[in-house]
Amino acid sequence: MEFTLKDIIHELVKAHNLVDKSRLAEIYLYSDVKHAGQVRQTGESFFSHPIFVAHSLASWGLDQTSVEAALLHEITEMTDTNIKEIEKQFGVECALLVSGVTRVGQVKLRGSQDEVFLENLRKMFVAMAQDIRVVIIRLADRLHNISTLGAVPISKQKRISVETLEVYAPLADRLGMGKLKGDLEDYAFPYVYPEEHEWLVLIAKPHFKYSKKNILETINRIRQQLAKHGIKAHTEFRLKRKYSLFRKLLRPEINRDISRIHDLMAIRIITEDTASCYSTLGIIHQYWKPVPFLGISDFIAQPKPNGYQSIHTKVFDNRGNIVEIQIRSEEMHLQAEFGAAAHFAYARAKHEGVSDEKLERGTAFTISEKMAWVKQLAGWQQQVIGVKETLSDFHLDALSHHIYVFSPKGDVYDLPEDATPVDYAFNVHSNLGFYIQSAKINDKITSVDAKLKSGDVVEIIKTKKPKSPNRNWLRFVKTHKAKLEIKKALEKSTGV
């Protein structure tokens, strides 16, 4: 679908982000003229690309300056225009964003040697730490490019798709941008795993058809009960993403048996506020019995590390089928869909007293405490022996699938998949790992090399005095931080 200036303005107005309509129109025309005569590999006008990126950002709720930078983001690469001209014409903030997006775009992540790949990834996180909008613009750029990948030479398609699955989709996930993550994965999936994609579509089709028929009936019943109890809410359903479904089918406990998947389709109930979420949960359980062995996940009381909030419950519907129901407020829904780009972030910054000067300079868009991991990765150094090990650590810390675990007090910790209680201990505090006597997971004594799962409550049973770590821990710990602290301690104890 091709968008126009009118479409971009519509999205900015909807999110209360339109500041200067005439300035936006001026930048739109300027970019159009600069890109005149240029054509994409799809055969479309090249200008359709910056328009798409700008429209994506506006629809995600970013500020007008981000949208302006999106319209200009290819100019220094595709024309003879330099960044000084953009600064002179449209101001410092816009020029800084365009410059940042250009630099991140020059970071080649595919086909690089390990050392180059590692340093290029770090450069991307440095850019994120300075202004998160730079990388969000680049993510929107990747979304459009991967969605039109069929026009790219076959020799390049898989490389671009692998990079999308390994770098850009995980990055979107860590930024809490659930919809974008799903879109990137599903566009890349058939290029990276063509046979598996074909198999998945074939086996899933009849199950989706059956689930849809049942879920529409359940939605109507839910709407009736919510109306009866005076709850104002919007109810919809979502299909499970293809690549997400594929990964779930590969789990050992599922063993490619699609009948074991209980969330092929999920019902979403979007309420006005948090209190209504809990009222809705009570109504749902009054009329549909929860599935005892699957339980309830309350991500409102205990949000995921990327900011995701929702209540998930699985119930038996009127036909005896298991249905997943997700309950969240409108604000939580925006956060779940758009994460770091959620449009209320700007409004909240303004509401909380951020100065107009900060908003204009873009410093209101620097990394928050919840996203401190970005700063950690930006300052990441090669502090372990061997580039391959370093590269592996960085992948795990930055881009692997992450889990969330809880301390006994309910604090949430973000760890890479298959992390252990030892990783957890060093994540809580750099010294806690030296006081490990034993560990508990969900109140049961366990080995210190046990693999943690999302939702686990982890407790470290402490010794009275610190002790040197076990060298064998290096065989199973996953995080760079744990490896680094263990190696430092071992070197100190041996006097190396």
Reported as a single tens digit per residue, the pLDDT across 3-19 is 999 999 999 999 889 99
Instruction: Compute φ and ψ for 56, nearest 5 degrees.
Output: -60, -50
Three-state SS string over 297-339 comes to EECCCCCCCCCCCCEEEEEECCCCCEEEEEEEEHHHHHHHHHH
Residues facing residue 315 across a β-bridge:
290, 323
Q: What separation in angstroms does the CA of 471 have from each of 384, 456, 459, 477, 484?
A: 15, 26, 22, 11, 12
Instruction: Give the H or E element holding residue 462.
Output: strand 458-462
Q: What is the mean pLDDT of residues 32-55?
A: 95
Residue 446 in this model has a pLDDT that exceeds 80: yes
The span from the CA of 330 to the CA of 234, in Å, is 9
Nearest to 61 by CA among 133, 4, 138: 133
Instruction: Give the H or E element holding residue 150.
Output: none
The span from the CA of 6 to the CA of 478, in Å, is 49
Class of the 401-494 domain? Answer: alpha beta
More confident residue, 411 or 432: 432
* Model confidence pLDDT, tens digit, residues 84-110: 999 999 999 999 999 888 877 766 655
More confident residue, 381 or 19: 19
The span from the CA of 361 to the CA of 416, in Å, is 34
The span from the CA of 212 to the CA of 206, in Å, is 10
Kindly report the average pLDDT of the chain as a whole number. Answer: 84
Nearest to 381 by CA among 126, 188, 141, 155: 126
Burial class (CB in 10 A: 0-12, 13-18, 19+), 218: buried
Residue 354 in this model has a pLDDT that exceeds 80: no
Q: What is the mean pLDDT of residues 277-291?
A: 94
Max alpha carbon distance in the chain (Å)? 73
Residue 408 in this model has a pLDDT that exceeds 70: yes
Residue 357 in this model has a pLDDT that exceeds 90: no
Residue 369 in this model has a pLDDT that exceeds 80: no
Q: Between 178-192 and 194-228, two packed helices, what is the crossing angle to 10 degrees?
A: 150
Amino acid at 435: Y
pLDDT the model gives residue 385: 39
Nearest to 311 by CA among 336, 293, 286, 287: 336
Q: Where are the domains of the chain?
A: 5-189, 194-339, 401-494
- Of the candidate ranges 261-270, 370-379, 462-471, the one whose mean pLDDT is the lowest: 370-379
Whether the CB-CB separation of 193 and 166 falls below 8 Å is answered with: no
Q: In terms of CATH architecture, what is 5-189? A: Orthogonal Bundle (1.10)
Class of the 194-339 domain? Answer: alpha beta
Residue 352 in this model has a pLDDT that exceeds 50: no
5-189 and 401-494 share one CATH topology? no
Whether the CB-CB separation of 27 and 5 falls below 8 Å is answered with: no
Tokens of 78: 């595709």
The span from the CA of 327 to the CA of 314, in Å, is 11
- Of the candidate ranges 35-44, 81-90, 341-350, the one whose mean pLDDT is the lowest: 341-350
The span from the CA of 222 to the CA of 337, in Å, is 23
